[in-house]
Structure 1
């Protein structure tokens, strides 16, 4: 358990089998405290408060267990034991793509390879030879970005991914339905049609209905490189599948110890451990993002688009795995049973096991089920 849990304000959600439903929790004195109340029954309601930090610090609650006691490696969703859920509920789950100019090249490669991993290495060499280091620290929408765009068009390498990567408008898409994201310890799902895929370690910001960012957490935006590479119109199929979105373990609320500047400077580590003995380490640095987090939020929510229940917004990733796992030139792809851990010192770690979406526990607890459960508990 990270030392940050001792100083920061961490809130989350757990499944309580005794009430057959979810509860809000805060980490206090090394314990998970259930602070669910009629006034604040959901994470949506907590984040909608003007000062959620003051509320959780003063709210009475019930001691459940230490976080470490709940963090087991067993399959979580669908069990009758106390376990972590994604720390969001009624919020829309949105994601920003191609927010790091350096990793944007991999999206271009996916498109050029039409989802064929065998072609990726040759294309990568050609694109890198032309662009070189011109994308390092490049800010999207800048005059320098416009110059890079012109050069790429001249070389016949223009792409829709380059447009959203270095142009003025960000890519924002729907990653998952409200309540469908999985939490710490759950399996993450790959669509069975995919043969080329990878994890995406990301910072996820929690945004209230009024557009204010109230905190941040970790997320895995599972990426099906071959499906999206075949056509950008398959983005929904590539991104929104059963259990393909993991968030957690907690939202760290903005307080005197943690702010948007900490998000801007966050360093993320990634580890993948396969049952075949494969090991991979990776990283993503928010310092290299091509768009400011608050700009991404403003492009998502505002007078042009409202989210009355707030939203969780993935910030994108610098990580793009190119290391061969099997045959030379085939690059990395998941194998079933991979254990993926995304960590950051200020936010803890998010661990999930890779399976097929068809083999992960099905998502059955939606908005109607949540409302009925809260009503039975006298919380509405």
Structure 2
């Protein structure tokens, strides 16, 4: 499944003509940032050669851009909507996901042991952990009780403690977009998608918009050891973003993110179908608090993308009873919410996914050959 017209038409938000969006397309000359305003797409590469630079210029209009036509008739393939931004992710931001991470840890990555552990944890902390505010005195009291019951975990620390888990999900330019293949490690036997909303921040740490993301999770690897987080999270094609970045304005605000319902469907090659959802109003930490913690001791001069976490944790059995859900090659994963559109990707192994070969050197050489770096410098010096 490759990017193309059919993917774009199905991916657009319900009110795409009213919103303003940033994204990237693959032109004959190379990757170019686009601005979508009143339903018209503009190639903005001569205004700023990267999306990261466009973000720093907001608010901006289409002046200087080349009109490509109506967004719904765009014939250029969509790429991931970020380029030079660092891709970060916040983990264990929902109570249910916290419980599932503890299950992975206690099961040592064994899916068959999960059901019994889940029952005990739900009985002991299910209601309490959903009600507690992270970092509060009530959270500290719950922590003390769980330690006494020998149920404490490093995952509960980031779920209800004062400090959020924030990690780097993918290298710059390694993310894939709508319609691309998404990869899981070939040696993983327990894994799932993570449907999330992703905030886009500028270099000052302000949220300028949002997109959808799939933060693929390898439950067996991370369950064996939290020190395997890098292998569990950062693999070829393991991070999908898109279809476009919707910019915040009077018609789309951070409150739309806070109240979004993110739907997920998985259609397997054997006829299997799973449906789920993630309600952002159940998040334990406010999205802007997660942005603040990401920037508290670091700088991101090219901006950053921040996955906000997910409530979705599939426990339905797919094959063997008691082993829950895991991906199969050929699964079609669709993540959708009306204001951001739909992100659809086909699951393959990371070994079989299209290799990542277009890195920073290739991008800079392409922009230099097109004269876009020189033009950008002249604009900056003017």
Q: TM-score, normalised by structure 1?
A: 0.92
Q: Is the 8 A contact 1:32 1:67 kept in 2?
A: no
Superposition deviation, residue 147 in structure 1: 2.1
User: Which of residues 356, 359, 377 is equivalent to 1:363?
Assistant: 356
Q: Is the 8 A contact 1:4 1:347 kept in 2?
A: no
Q: Is the 8 A contact 1:199 1:220 kept in 2?
A: yes
User: Which of residues 343, 346, 367 is equivalent to 1:350?
Assistant: 343
Q: Which residue of 2 aligns with 1:195?
A: 189
Q: Is the 8 A contact 2:68 2:74 kept in 1?
A: no
Q: Which residue of 1 aligns with 2:244?
A: 250
Counterpart-to-counterpart distance in 2, 1:224 and 1:34: 37
User: Which of residues 32, 35, 43 is equivalent to 2:41?
Assistant: 32
CA displacement 1:163-206 (0-9 Å, x = unmatched): 00110000011100010000000000001110000000011000
Q: Is the 8 A contact 1:13 1:22 kept in 2?
A: yes
Q: Is the 8 A contact 1:201 1:319 kept in 2?
A: yes
Superposition deviation, residue 265 in structure 1: 1.3
Calculate the aligned-residue CA RMSD, in Å: 1.4
CA displacement 1:253-301 (0-9 Å, x = unmatched): 1111111121111110001001110101110111011011111111111
Superposition deviation, residue 5 in structure 1: 0.7
Q: Which residue of 2 aligns with 1:98?
A: 92
Superposition deviation, residue 27 in structure 1: 2.7
CA displacement 1:325-355 (0-9 Å, x = unmatched): 0111000000000000000111001000000
Q: Which residue of 1 aligns with 2:327?
A: 334
User: Which of residues 14, 31, 45 is equivalent to 2:25?
Assistant: 14
Counterpart-to-counterpart distance in 1, 2:274 and 2:370: 45
Counterpart-to-counterpart distance in 2, 1:269 and 1:163: 28
Residues 322 and 291 (structure 1 numbering): CA distance in 2 closer, same or farther, change over 3 Å? same
Q: Which residue of 2 aligns with 1:306?
A: 299
- The answer on 1:89 being equivalent to 2:100 is no
Counterpart-to-counterpart distance in 2, 1:90 and 1:355: 25
User: Which of residues 35, 41, 55 is equivalent to 1:47?
Assistant: 55
Q: Which residue of 1 aligns with 2:313?
A: 320
Superposition deviation, residue 60 in structure 1: 2.9
CA displacement 1:124-155 (0-9 Å, x = unmatched): 01111112311224321122222221221111
Counterparts of 1:94-243 in structure 2, within 5 Å, are 94-243=88-237
- The answer on 1:56 being equivalent to 2:61 is yes
Count of equivalent residues: 362
User: SS of 1:4's equivalent?
Assistant: coil
Counterpart-to-counterpart distance in 2, 1:56 and 1:197: 42
Q: Is the 8 A contact 1:270 1:342 kept in 2?
A: yes
Unaligned regions of 5+ residues in structure 2, if any? 1-11, 374-382
User: SS of 2:257's equivalent?
Assistant: helix
Residues 184 and 35 (structure 1 numbering): CA distance in 2 closer, same or farther, change over 3 Å? same
Unaligned regions of 5+ residues in structure 1, if any? 71-81
Counterpart-to-counterpart distance in 2, 1:144 and 1:262: 29
Q: Is the 8 A contact 1:284 1:319 kept in 2?
A: yes
Counterpart-to-counterpart distance in 1, 2:128 and 2:116: 20
